[in-house]
Amino acid sequence: MIKQDIINWLPYQKPFLFVDGIDAISENGITGHYTFKDDESFYQGHFKDHPITPGVILTECMAQIGLVCLGIYLLNDELNVSSQPKIALTSHQMDFYLPVLPNEKVTVISEKEVFRFNKLKCKVKMLNEKEELVCRGMISGMIKV
User: What percent of the chain is helix, strand and coil (3-state, nearest 5)?
Assistant: 25, 40, 35
Q: Residues 33, 46, 50, 92: which is the catalytic one? A: 46
Do 111 and 26 meet the contact criterion of CB atoms below 8 Å apart? no
Backbone φ and ψ for 117, nearest 5 degrees, come out as 50, 35
Average pLDDT across the chain, whole number = 93
Structurally, the chain folds into a number of domains equal to 1
pTM over 0.85: yes
pLDDT in tens, 68-109: 999 999 988 777 666 677 788 889 999 999 999 999 999 999
CATH number at residue 79: 3.10.129.10
46 is catalytic: yes
pLDDT in tens, 42-52: 999 888 889 99
For 141, the 3-state DSSP assignment is strand
Range of the domain at 113: 3-144
**CA–CA distance from 31 to each of 22, 42, 84, 110, 124 (Å)?**
6, 25, 22, 6, 10
**Percent of the chain's residues with pLDDT above 70:** 95
